[in-house]
Amino acid sequence: MSATVIKYDSEVGRWEPNARGRLEQAAMELYVERGFEETTVADIAHRAGLSERTFFRHFADKREVLFAGASALQEHLVSAVASAPESLAPMDAVASGLHAVAALLQERRGREFARQRQAIIAANAELRERELIKMAALAAATAGALRRRGAREPAASLTAEAGIAVFRIAFERWVTGKQRRDLSRVIEDSLHQLKLAVAAT
């Protein structure tokens, strides 16, 4: 009985172990080396040892390498706010959500990836605008979660906006600071600073 010869398509994803991770790593390396605007999808795929077709299986365009986790982060934040104890005040519920997001970011990405990503975004106006849109979406989703907890307007939106501002500033302090502090601790310190500032007014 003759053996059956099976031919595999080189484009089949299962024969490309960790393709997404390889593409992310290649893209970040190239964005740092050449700049975001000077890097093409073909460059990223070539550096990763994959095809452009494989790239587009995982990312809509080269920007999505930097923003692909936005939806998951938003869902994680909203879920954590929603599941916070009912006895918590709105700002404390948001704080609970921010700490959950901090844990997720550190587990999945780490400070070095976040630092590189932040530098790439800061150097490109289009990416900065995209990041602002992401933050606005986070604030809107958080406000919705607070309303479902019973918070009224404008308190829900004000609290959500304040919480996302705390997250944005804490995140920047985390990636640019010389001390390697846990992101959750930086968020806690930023929340404390906000409370002091509000109390002083």
Is the pLDDT at 3 greater than 70? The verdict is no
At 87, which CATH number? 1.10.357.10
Query: Which residues are within 8 A (CB) of 149 and not within 5 positions of it... i.e. 6 or more apart?
Result: 81, 82, 84, 86, 90, 93
Residue pair 94/66 in contact (Cβ under 8 Å)? The answer is no
Residue 88 and residue 127 in one domain: yes
Instruction: Evaluate the omega torsion of the peptide bond into residue 90 and state whether it is cis, within 30 degrees of 0.
Output: no
Query: Taking the CB of residue 91, how many other CB atoms lie within 10 A of it?
Result: 21
Q: Which of 46, 64, 82 represents a domain boundary (last residue)?
A: 64
Residue 60 and residue 120 in one domain: no
Residue 115 and residue 46 in one domain: no
Note the pLDDT tens digit of each residue in 4-23. 433 333 444 444 678 999 99
Residue pair 163/188 in contact (Cβ under 8 Å)? The answer is no
Note the pLDDT tens digit of each residue in 67-91. 988 888 999 999 999 999 999 999 9
| CA–CA dist 72, 30 (Å, integer) | 25
In the prediction, which pLDDT does 106 show?
Answer: 84
Is the pLDDT at 44 greater than 70? The verdict is yes
**Containing domain of residue 159, as a range?**
69-200
In the prediction, which pLDDT does 73 show?
Answer: 92
Residue pair 59/79 in contact (Cβ under 8 Å)? The answer is no
Domains identified in the chain, total number: 2
> Which range among 46-50, 109-113, 167-171 shows the weakest confidence by mean pLDDT?
109-113
Task: Give the angle 111-114-115 at the CA atoms, nearest 5°.
Answer: 85
Note the pLDDT tens digit of each residue in 158-183. 999 999 999 999 999 999 887 778 99
| CA–CA dist 12, 54 (Å, integer) | 9
Q: Is residue 5 assigned to a domain? A: no
Q: Is residue 132 assigned to a domain? A: yes
Q: Give pTM, 2 decimals.
A: 0.83
| CA–CA dist 36, 68 (Å, integer) | 16
Q: Is residue 177 assigned to a domain? A: yes
In the prediction, which pLDDT does 25 show?
Answer: 93
Q: What percent of the chain has pLDDT over 90?
A: 75
Note the pLDDT tens digit of each residue in 59-68. 999 999 999 8
At 31, which CATH number? 1.10.10.60
Residue 31 and residue 96 in one domain: no
Residue 24 and residue 107 in one domain: no
Residue 116 and residue 24 in one domain: no
Residue 44 and residue 93 in one domain: no
Q: Is residue 2 assigned to a domain? A: no
Q: Is residue 3 assigned to a domain? A: no
- As given in the structure block, the two tokens for residue 45 are 């795929």
Over residues 144-162, mean pLDDT: 97
In the prediction, which pLDDT does 9 show?
Answer: 38
Residue 79 and residue 53 in one domain: no
Q: Is residue 1 assigned to a domain? A: no
